[in-house]
């Protein structure tokens, strides 16, 4: 560890205690607007709720956040109970590992406004590069290079150069035929050159599987071009995922790899457990600014009166109930929880909210494997492209400031291999069961076997069984012996074909009721921390508008658009109006 890293590590212990003193160094609050109704109830304390609270408290509103669990939502750390010893902290569990693509804009902006020790850019300086992704293949196949080759920005300026990059550099080492590699590259060109109207009118209504012509091509093509991209990057099922969503993300990643339109390295992670280096300092800052938090409060209903929301009902952990009253209400709950509160009286005020029932959630949950010895696989993320359960992961200790063994657990765990399981409905290789059908122990055994199949297919020992100290599965996953299946308390929204029409904006037809969450329409158009953060800002802006505030609005940022491709999009806009195919769409 170099000297500068050591200095940061020593200072980091002051992160939370120094928030109040450091807050004065943050960018000054936006001008406060004179409004008479200022009381805001935010129902949900995840990324969307905290983001809305941040923007509103800085503009003079009285904000209370109600959260059924712990603050931070899916991004929060989950200390593993009973693992602390010798003055150390519990082993650091989580819902799933976090990563921060360089094309994120709203999250880094928020982070830069949260003081942390003497970091110049606050929490944002706790992001570090994860520069070397690894895509191990099983069965002796060549390990993949997809999105692992850093392109020269010049390779992205012309269709010919981009096609060569994808065909030769990214797919050239795979077992795809040259014809299939060229075809996939041409499909990427089609999307990048498509105008906005075609993206919404045609590609939003087309699955990624159909867009890349997977059904008519080889199993290897299906695995790499169709399945690998969607499940490794966005945890979406290729047969039902919208091409608009997958295409937007592929486009953003391609440009981010070349350093275009980014706020940091293409792939970044935090330099410690999420709560320690982000959520806790953020909550401390919000408290210092005046935000009130009520945890252990499950919202059970919304009350309607005089054409608006007149209150909300909530239940404490002990079963007692209480009423929530405010001038303005922001639902920052996951869509599947909000949908349960949409009673006839609520829908009577805004019938369009009934479309939320059409939105689709799937499972993407994490498993943390604590290790007795260091595991040197790669300095970045790992995507096990052939794993039936679509496993991705990384070893976290290499990125963290604090010494893992000295800080967490009993001192014998030296690192954490944190993985996400994105496919819970495909049978595995060990038991022939889906992840939904496996006990917690079977989930670990199966995931371990699938990773070994990719890392040890050439005969080397990479994951010896005796390296495992212990493991922790997201507690949102619960196995029920009576049914032989798991349930999931925290599923993930997936943008299915033609689902944009069912997704709301932050403003509803109910004058004092607003929406924030990864299901709300945003520029990034994906269920991510970035989308949730942006939606929290749009909800805050909607309240500013409704209350007549003159305060500056929360900043909303758009995705990068390379000027070199605008001419192709203009041509495509004309062709789309005429009912013609995209210029590069040859089949």
- For residue 22, is pLDDT > 80? no
Structure tokens, 114? 């949260």
Q: Looking at 104-108, 234-238, 410-414, 430-434, which range is the least confident one?
A: 234-238
- pLDDT over threshold 70, residue 14: no
pLDDT at 577: 98
- What's the whole-number average pLDDT of the chain? 92
- 349 Cβ partners below 8 Å, 6+ apart? 304, 307, 308, 509, 510, 513
Round to whole Å and give the CA distance between 54 and 553.
Answer: 12
| pLDDT-above-70 percentage for the chain | 92
Output the pLDDT for position 389.
Answer: 96
Q: Provide CB contacts within 8 A for 355, sequence distance 6+.
A: 501, 502, 503, 504
Cβ atoms of 46 and 532 closer than 8 Å: yes
Bigger pLDDT: 12 vs 464: 464
Q: 31: pLDDT confidence band, cut at 50, 70 and 90?
A: low
Residue 59 confidence (pLDDT): 97
pLDDT of residue 144: 67
**DSSP letter, residue 238:** T
SS3 89: strand
pLDDT, residue 29, reads 56
**Residue carrying the six token digits 């199949």:** 453
Q: How confident is the model at residue 366 (pLDDT cuts 50, 70, 90)?
A: very high
pLDDT at 12: 38
Please give the C-alpha separations between residue 278 and each of 104, 111, 275, 428, 536, in angstroms, as whole numbers.
16, 8, 5, 35, 17
**The pLDDT of residue 497:** 97
Q: Is the pLDDT of residue 234 over 90?
A: no
- Read off φ and ψ for residue 196, nearest 5 degrees: -60, -40
Looking up tokens 């790669």, which residue turns up?
378
- Two tokens, residue 142: 């060549």
Mean of pLDDT values over 44-54: 99
Give me the pLDDT at residue 150, please: 64
pLDDT tens digits for range 50-82: 999 999 999 999 999 999 999 999 999 999 999
Residue 310 has pLDDT above 70, yes or no: yes
Decide if pLDDT at 7 tops 80: no
Alpha-carbon Rg for the chain in angstroms: 24
Instruction: Determine what percent of the chain is predicted with pLDDT higher than 90.
Output: 81
Q: Model confidence over 516-539: pLDDT tens digits?
A: 999 999 999 999 999 999 999 999
pTM above 0.75, yes or no: yes
User: Which pLDDT score is estimated for 42?
Assistant: 99
Residue 355, phi then psi, degrees to nearest 5: -70, -15
**Tell me, what's the pLDDT at 142?**
75
Residue range 152-174, pLDDT digits in tens: 777 788 899 889 888 888 887 77
1 pLDDT tier (thresholds 50, 70, 90): very low
pLDDT tens column, 245-268 = 999 999 999 899 889 999 999 999
| pLDDT, average across residues 330-345 | 98
Predicted pLDDT of residue 396: 98
Quick one: pLDDT at residue 392?
95
pLDDT at 151: 66
What is the DSSP track for 420-451?
A: EE--SSS--SSSS--GGGS-HHHHHHHHHHHH
Question: Is residue 3 over pLDDT 90?
Answer: no
């Amino acid at each position: 560890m170099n000297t500068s890293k050591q200095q940061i590590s020593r200072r980091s212990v002051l992160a939370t205690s120094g928030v109040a003193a450091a807050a004065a160094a943050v960018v000054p609050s936006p001008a406060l607007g004179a409004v008479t109704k200022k009381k805001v109830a935010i129902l949900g304390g995840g990324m969307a709720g905290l983001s809305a609270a941040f923007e509103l408290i800085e503009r003079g509103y009285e904000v209370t956040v109600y959260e059924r669990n712990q603050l931070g939502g899916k991004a929060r750390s989950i200390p593993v109970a009973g693992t602390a010893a010798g003055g150390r902290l519990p082993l650091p569990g989580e819902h799933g590992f976090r990563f921060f693509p360089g094309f994120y804009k709203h999250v880094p902006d928020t982070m830069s406004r949260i003081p942390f020790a003497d970091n110049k850019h606050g929490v944002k300086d706790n992001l570090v590069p994860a520069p070397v992704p690894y895509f191990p293949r099983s069965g002796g196949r060549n390990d993949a290079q997809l999105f692992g080759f850093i392109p020269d920005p010049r390779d992205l300026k012309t269709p010919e150069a981009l096609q060569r990059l994808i065909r030769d550099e990214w797919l050239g080492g795979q077992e795809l035929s040259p014809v299939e590699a060229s075809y996939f590259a041409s499909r990427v060109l089609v999307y990048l050159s498509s105008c906005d109207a075609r993206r919404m009118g045609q590609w939003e209504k087309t699955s990624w599987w159909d867009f890349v012509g997977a059904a008519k091509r080889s199993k290897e093509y299906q695995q790499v071009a169709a399945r690998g991209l969607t499940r490794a990057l966005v945890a979406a099922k290729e047969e039902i995922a919208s091409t608009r969503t997958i295409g937007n993300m592929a486009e953003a990643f391609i440009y981010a790899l070349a350093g275009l339109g980014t706020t940091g390295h293409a792939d970044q992670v935090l330099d410690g457990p999420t709560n320690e280096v982000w959520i806790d300092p953020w909550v401390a800052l919000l408290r210092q600014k005046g935000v009130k938090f009520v945890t252990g409060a499950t919202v059970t209903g919304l009350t309607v009166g005089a054409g608006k929301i007149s209150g909300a009902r909530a239940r404490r952990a002990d079963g007692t109930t209480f009423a929530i009253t405010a001038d303005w209400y922001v639902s920052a709950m996951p869509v599947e929880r909000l949908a349960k509160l949409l009673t006839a009286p609520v829908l009577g005020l805004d019938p369009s909210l009934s479309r939320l029932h059409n939105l689709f959630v799937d499972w993407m949950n994490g498993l943390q494997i604590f290790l007795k010895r260091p595991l040197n696989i790669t300095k970045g993320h790992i995507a096990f492209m052939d794993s039936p359960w679509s496993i991705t992961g990384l070893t976290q200790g290499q990125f963290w400031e604090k010494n893992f063994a000295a800080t967490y657990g009993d001192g014998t765990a030296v690192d954490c291999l944190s993985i996400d399981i994105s496919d819970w409905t495909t049978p595995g290789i060990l038991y022939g069961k889906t992840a939904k059908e496996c006990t917690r122990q079977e989930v670990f055994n199966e995931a371990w076997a699938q990773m070994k199949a990719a890392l040890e297919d050439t005969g080397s020992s990479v994951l010896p069984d005796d390296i495992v100290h212990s493991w922790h599965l997201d507690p949102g996953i619960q196995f029920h012996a009576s049914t032989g299946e798991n349930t999931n308390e925290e599923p993930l929204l997936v943008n299915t074909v033609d689902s944009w029409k069912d997704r709301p904006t932050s403003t509803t037809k109910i004058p004092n009721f607003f929406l924030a969450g990864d299901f709300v329409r945003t520029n990034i158009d994906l269920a991510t921390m970035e989308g949730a953060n942006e939606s929290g800002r749009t909800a805050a802006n909607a309240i500013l508008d409704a209350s007549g505030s003159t305060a500056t609005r929360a900043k909303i940022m758009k995705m990068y658009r390379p000027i070199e491709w605008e001419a192709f999009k203009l041509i495509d806009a004309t062709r789309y109006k005429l009912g013609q195919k995209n210029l590069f769409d040859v089949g």
